[in-house]
Structure formats: structure tokens, C-alpha cells
Amino acid sequence: MSKPINNLKLFNDLCAVEETLIERGWCKGKVKDVDGRVCLMGAAAQLCGVASGYDIEEKKDYRRYHNIVNAIATAIYKGPARIFHNVDTIASFNDNPNTTIEDVRGKLREAREALL
């Protein structure tokens, strides 16, 4: 029997962030590059409508964005006690020269698994 998901909305949002990275492509160093690829933060921002340059008709949802960012940052550093600046944490991880798209997708998977 499978475990219940503690926060189904957040679980689905983390799936949507990963889907955005797959569909648009992944980049480093910018939220969104000239080819339309997005970084990990850019994918979350696009989903929630909180970054400029996205054609999103629905209302900006900062609380949703905050929840996604917290979940991802917690997966990166294995616990909120070590997180001081979540956006910087995620950007540093995403932009690290050694980070690959597989690493990024792995952290999204870990964030989802933490909800089980």
C-alpha cells in the first residue's frame, strides 16, 4: 500500500516545476535565457507567475512560490535548519559548474519524496 501524500498541491507543483524544465529546457546563470530555457528558480517563478517576462493571466501566487522554494531548498541542504536564504541556496546549486539537469531533477524528486 502506498503512503498518503502530505501536501498534494505542493507535490503536484514540484512535478510541474520539473515538467517546465523538461519542456522549456534548463539553463544556468539566468532566470530565463534568450532561448526561453529556465533555471530551477525560473521554472518555479513561471509556474506561480511571480517573475516578469512570463505571459501568465492568472494572479501572482507568492505563497505558492514560497512553498515550492522552501521544499526545493530543504531537499538541497537536507533540512530547513541549514537554510538562511532559500533563493540564494537554489541559485547557487543550479548555477554550480558541477550541477547537471539530472542533479536538479534529483533534488525535485527528493523534495517530492519528503512529502510521502
| C-alpha span between 51 and 59 (Å, rounded) | 12
- pLDDT tens figures, 4-25: 778 999 999 999 999 999 999 9
- In the chain, domain spans: 8-113
| pTM, two decimal places | 0.86
Spell out the SS3 assignment of 81-99: HHCCCHHHHHHHHHHCCCC
Does the pLDDT at position 51 exceed 80? no
